[in-house]
Amino acid sequence: MIPAIDLKDGEAVRLYKGDYEQKTVYSYHPHKLAKEFEKMGAKYLHLVDLDGAKDAAAKNQEVIKKIRETVSMPIELGGGIRNIETVDYYLSEVGIDRVILGTAALKDPQFVKECLKKYDASRIVVGVDVKDGYVSTSGWLETSDIYYLDFIHQLEEIGVKTIVCTDISKDGTLKGPSFDLYETIKNNSNMDFVVSGGVKDNEDILEASRRGYYACIVGKAFYEGTVNLGEVIAHVG
Residue positions annotated with a catalytic role: 6, 129
- Determine the residue type at 50: L
For residue 111, give the nearest of 74, 160, 78 by alpha carbon: 160
Alpha helix positions (H), 41-162: 50-55, 61-70, 84-88, 103-107, 109-118, 148-157
User: Which residues does 194 contact at the CB level (< 8 Å), separation at least 6?
Assistant: 2, 125, 162, 163, 164, 165, 213, 214, 215, 216, 217
Cβ–Cβ under 8 Å, residues 113 and 101: no
Distance in angstroms (rounded) separating the CA atoms of residues 166 and 196: 5
- DSSP secondary-structure letter at 201? S
H or E element, residue 101: strand 98-101
Count CB-CB contacts under 10 A for residue 118.
Answer: 14
